[in-house]
Amino acid sequence: MGRAQRHVRALGVLAVAASWSVVFVGAAQPAAADTQSKQWYLSAMQAEEMWKVTTGEGIKVAVIDTGVNPSTPSLQGQVLKGVDVTGAPGDETDDYHGHGTTMAELIAGTGKGGGLKGLAPGAKIIPVRMSDGEFMKQNSTIFSDTAKAIRAAADTDAQIISMSFGSPRYLDSNREAVKYAESKGKLFLASVGNEGDESNKPVYPASYPEVVGVASADRKGKVSQYSQHSGSVDVASPGSDVPGWCDSSFKNYCDGDGGTSSAAAIASASAALVWSLHPDWTANQVLNVLFDTAGRDWKKGETSKYLGHGLIRPSMNVLKGKGDPGDPDISPLTKERTTGAAESSKPEAAASASAQAAKNGAEGEKTVAAEEAKSSGDKSQLGLILGVAAVVVVLGGVAYAVVRRRKAA
């Protein structure tokens, strides 16, 4: 996975309009209340106003990651029984990196003790611990457990699956696991990766047709220059300058970029807010509304290489009631009918994790550990992004981003 800092190059002209700028307060001790002041996107996304309507209550999010520590002040009482597919010592509550706990807090953290405040603090987290490359090496295994993790998440009663992991390898076993999750009515979101200024290869599972690929945007509303754009972006979400736990010791939060990892978590929380307000909707309808209300200045239905349908804006539905849910059984991703989605999206129709995870877990394919599992978060400080064209709109008294598709060279 790796959280090593690296320098990033200017990507060139990203024609992205912007303006979810907010007053930013400086920070002192990382675990104090100042950590929340660094969550610039909460103000920009009108979180306080949305929380008067819904906090995501009734929604469960399966977080496929390095595990989730339920004992941080912000996650106490927020984490349900989950699944560990690693076969290594410990269980899903033993976060061997700190990454999974950060993602969980960005989704459903309460902010207690000065910790990260989730965009959907009324939602609950179901952790699914899988292996990253380093963890596989440490435990002397070369078997990917990605497919097993996805199937385990699909077998929980979570409505949403959030996965901030990615690999450039296309594996049939993983694709089949993704299809299985779709058949269970899950809304599956994943990070598109952070090598947009380097190799920019397609990353999976975000690049599978049934998965919502989430790109990263910065506090100015511009696409993060490292955010990958290899044909897999469906929507953009805040990712730059998002703090997180420094490591598995859980002593301090660190500054820096959450990257597309954090973007995927925040997008998942956005979906939780909308779904909580419309509990009878299917995953397709929730996603239709998120796409319909995304910030953009191009024709609805068209997509940007860098931003997909645009910048995610759950407040447009939560506060203004906007967004067309569309056909409950037609996927806005594939435009195809999804088997059983209308019924199995509902919590009462889903099987419990404890009863189903072992039964349906599929053994992953043999692969090289270093290639198979790489996190898409935690990038270094941004360099200069050149040639930006800005378009500003004001929604409900808050300046929010509208994004412009990059013009062809």
Q: How far apart are CA 352 and CA 28, in angstroms?
A: 43
Tens-digit pLDDT profile for residues 202-242: 999 999 999 999 999 998 888 999 999 998 999 999 999 99
User: Which CATH topology does 34-401 take?
Assistant: Rossmann fold (3.40.50)
pTM: 0.81
Instruction: State whether residue 395 is helix, strand or coil.
Output: strand
* pLDDT at residue 340, rounded to an integer: 57
For residues 50 and 117, is the Cβ–Cβ distance under 8 A?
no
Neighbouring CB atoms inside 10 A of 258's CB total 29
Whether 172 is catalytic is no
pLDDT at residue 386 tops 70: no
| Active-site position among 65, 84, 197, 292 | 65
Catalytic site residue from 74, 261, 270, 376: 261
Structure tokens belonging to residue 251: 């002593």
What is the average pLDDT score of the chain?
A: 80
Enumerate the domain spans of the chain: 34-401
Determine whether 261 is an active site residue.
Answer: yes
In the residue annotation, 71 being an active-site residue is answered as: no
Q: CA separation (Å) from 328 to 22, 190, 344?
A: 36, 22, 12
pLDDT tens digits, 155-192: 999 999 999 999 999 999 999 999 999 999 999 999 99
Which tens digits make up the pLDDT trace of 34-64?
799 999 999 999 999 999 999 999 999 999 9
Phi, then psi, of 222 in degrees rounded to 5: -95, 150
Q: Which of 97, 99, 229, 309 is catalytic?
A: 99
